[in-house]
Amino acid sequence: MMNLKVTIPTALAVFAALSTAALGRDYSAPGSYPVGVRTVVLVDESRKDEYSDGPRTLVTEIWYPTTEEGRTGRKATFSGFFGKHQEEAGEFVRHFGGRMREVEERFHCCGVRDAPLRKGRFPLLVFSHGNGGVRHQNISQVEHLAGHGYIVVSPDHTGNAGLTPLPSRALPYDRSGRRRSARARPRDVSFLITELLRRGGQPGSWLRDRLDPDRIGVLGHSFGGFTACRVAEMDRRVKAILPMTVAYGRKTSVPMLLMLGDKDRTMGLAGNTVSRLYYESCGGPKHLVSLKRGGHFSFTDMDYIAPGFGDGVGGGEFLPSRRAKTLVNAYSLAFFEHYLRGDADSGRFLRENADEEEILLKGGNLPALAAPSPPAPAGAAAKKRAAGSD
């Protein structure tokens, strides 16, 4: 049990530090937009999936800014992401020591199912889950970004996801297919970008004229971090990447924010060293945020599934999950605001350490920033984004 006399003032200090940086903007605060979410199944007919024995099929979640009426709809549930495959979903949760009823009670979600998509053109982000993870494993992070005016897409990488709820059947994790997944995952991301942009130009599509093809980013956790790095090598449409806990591949000049946990038990010192060497090799603008008390799962919502899971979840030597999410969400938003929307104030935030007690911050190859802009009237930034003028 945490000592509230210690954790509450400490948490308030973190929020104060975040809100006073970069001309007063609190990057950890929820966005002004309500969030919608819907599930789509996308099929890449050009690829055969050896595991499912059919065309490559990706159960995909899309989070997005919705209209004001979206504040009152039916919110997504953890079990709902598995569709009709509830028995298999229960087994997935039990594998990590959880119970579905308790997970549902802990699960915090603001996304409203099938709410209308707000008018405007928004940057596109693709999130890639970790090895054995699921597409909604970082719900706190993706909803935070969607609430600030991003369309965030996340697939279950079929075969590598802990459970893939295809329409016809549920496929478990393929323990023998990691090498195959390393090849398939980056192509999954590029396929999603291509398919969603196609739908964005299609008359009658709910995505019609909503996606900005010049503002695309990729983020991912663990194996998803590797995926983000690999996509940066392959796909010139990607303008920014945010790998968490793993960064590896050929060096890139694409702007990057690397997030690591100094107490990561999964990757260990050797894995973190490889990621740091990758960071040093890259020639584009780059930032490194290392959580001193961060573990492998500090960057996820594993605490919803198993609060005592360890390696970043469960307190003790690790940063409390809520505090970790505050920092991860703040730096994630500032990174994409700066490199996809060109916001100079966000660039200043990326160069400031919001919590020196908990963060090691580093940057490299950073260009000069424009002079600070005067404070905007309340709500002005949100109105600008809603008009699609970013």
Rg (CA), the chain: 20
Name the nearest CA neighbour of 63 among 157, 152, 140: 152
151: Cβ contacts below 8 Å, ≥ 6 apart: 62, 63, 64, 65, 122, 123, 124, 125, 207, 210, 211
Task: Please check whether residue 374 lies inside any domain of the structure.
Answer: no
User: Which amino acid does the sequence have at 153?
Assistant: V
pLDDT for the residue numbered 376: 62
Task: Please check whether residue 63 lies inside any domain of the structure.
Answer: yes
Asked if residues 145 and 308 have their Cβ atoms less than 8 Å apart, the reply is no
Cross-strand bridge partners of residue 381: none
Separation CA 43–CA 54 (nearest Å): 10
Asked if residues 64 and 120 have their Cβ atoms less than 8 Å apart, the reply is no
325: Cβ contacts below 8 Å, ≥ 6 apart: 140, 141, 301
Task: Please check whether residue 375 lies inside any domain of the structure.
Answer: no
Task: Please check whether residue 290 lies inside any domain of the structure.
Answer: yes
The CA distances from residue 131 to 89, 112, 259, 263, 270, in Å, are: 17, 27, 17, 19, 18
Sign of the alpha-carbon torsion through 231, 109, 163, 304: positive
Region at 315 (left for phi over 0; alpha for psi -120 to 50; beta for the rest): left
**Would you mind telling me the total number of residues written for the chain in this entry?**
390
Asked if residues 340 and 215 have their Cβ atoms less than 8 Å apart, the reply is yes
Name the nearest CA neighbour of 246 among 232, 234, 229: 229
Separation CA 280–CA 261 (nearest Å): 17
> Which helix (H) or strand (E) segment is 323 a member of?
helix 321-341
> Which helix (H) or strand (E) segment is 88 a member of?
helix 86-95
Pairing of strands 151-155, 54-65: antiparallel
DSSP annotation of 134: -
CA atoms within 13 A on the CB side of 145: 32
Separation CA 136–CA 300 (nearest Å): 10
Our count of domains for the chain comes to 1
pTM of the model: 0.91
pLDDT for the residue numbered 315: 86
Name the nearest CA neighbour of 297 among 342, 337, 266: 266
Task: Please check whether residue 210 lies inside any domain of the structure.
Answer: yes
CATH number at residue 102: 3.40.50.1820
Separation CA 277–CA 272 (nearest Å): 9
Task: Please check whether residue 373 lies inside any domain of the structure.
Answer: no
- Give the chain's residues under pLDDT 70: 1-23, 373, 375-390
Q: What is the pLDDT of residues 118-134, one digit of tens each?
A: 999 999 999 999 999 99
Residue 47: domain span: 4-366+380-386
